[in-house]
Amino acid sequence: MGTALPPALPVAEGLALGEKRFADLAQLYAALHGDSAPRPGFSDRIVPGRGPEHAALFLLGEQPGDREDRAGQAFVGPAGRLLEQCMRDAALDPAALFLTNAVKRFKFEPRGKRRIHQRPNAGDVAHYRWWLGQEIRIVQPRVVVALGVTALHALIGARLPLKNVRGRVRGWDERTLLATIHPSYLLRLRPDGGYEEERAAFVLDLRRGPGRRPSSADHQSAGRIWDAKPQPRSALSSARAMRPAASPMP
């Protein structure tokens, strides 16, 4: 890890990045399996992150989906496949990345034989935040990429409209943080609904994250975003208006 950066985006309370409790990820996940009772509406299975124990890049999603819950591995369903293609297009080596989720279990509503994804709420995110902090502490990434607003919320402790922060690297803890869309957002776009443009912008974001350290301008603008909180409702609703109506962007 490089030189410490001044704080820009805050570290969410409860992330406990400095608290050394586990020697490695195997210990951490064993404890998570044993200690953390599922909240109502969640699968009883924990889905651990995947990738090397120490990785320069840490990609954070929202929560495992149905496929991930069945496979016991993060990002192995359609969103994960698309993410891997985009990472390749961004010239990132998937073998050098750690992929995990803010929430460690699949939240769903049973509908017949199907399990319909439910977005985790602030309490769900807070419930798993300490564990996420332990994961980051062990993996020691240089760059953390938040895929979508729930991941960003888990890291900084607030739901910022993604358009305010997307695609610019920021100082965060002693690392850098990049927020971008979640790949499942792309899966919901039609070819004639801007899919190619959005996909290209996502690939560009992924290229930027690992390649550039935050400048002092990034720190200043991160400060401005943060000072502006709480976000006016109009900002929140215009961010929502950018999302497809059928299912919210995680």
Residues 99-138 that bind ligand URA (CB under 6 A): 101
The secondary structure of residue 63, as a DSSP letter, is: -
Q: Which is nearer to ligand URA, 147 or 222 (CB)?
A: 147
Q: Is 155 in the site for ligand URA (CB under 6 A)?
A: no
Q: Is 64 in the site for ligand URA (CB under 6 A)?
A: yes
Q: Is 61 in the site for ligand URA (CB under 6 A)?
A: yes
Mask 183-212, x = binds ligand URA (CB under 6 A)? -x----------------------------
Helix, strand counts (H, E) of the chain: 10, 7
CB of 225 to ligand URA, least distance (A): 23
Return the residue nearest ligand URA (CB atom).
Answer: 61
- State the DSSP string of 85-146: HHHHHTT--GGGEEEEESSSS-BEEEETTEEEE----HHHHHHHHHHHHHHHHHH--SEEEE
Is 180 strand, coil or helix? strand
- Positive or negative torsion for Cα 6, 9, 14, 15: negative
Q: Is 218 in the site for ligand URA (CB under 6 A)?
A: no
On whether the CB atoms of residues 119 and 102 are closer than 8 A, the answer is no
On whether the CB atoms of residues 179 and 250 are closer than 8 A, the answer is no
Q: Is 180 in the site for ligand URA (CB under 6 A)?
A: no
Q: Which is nearer to ligand URA, 43 or 101 (CB)?
A: 101
Residues engaged in binding ligand URA (CB under 6 A): 61-65, 68, 74-75, 77, 79-80, 101, 184, 250
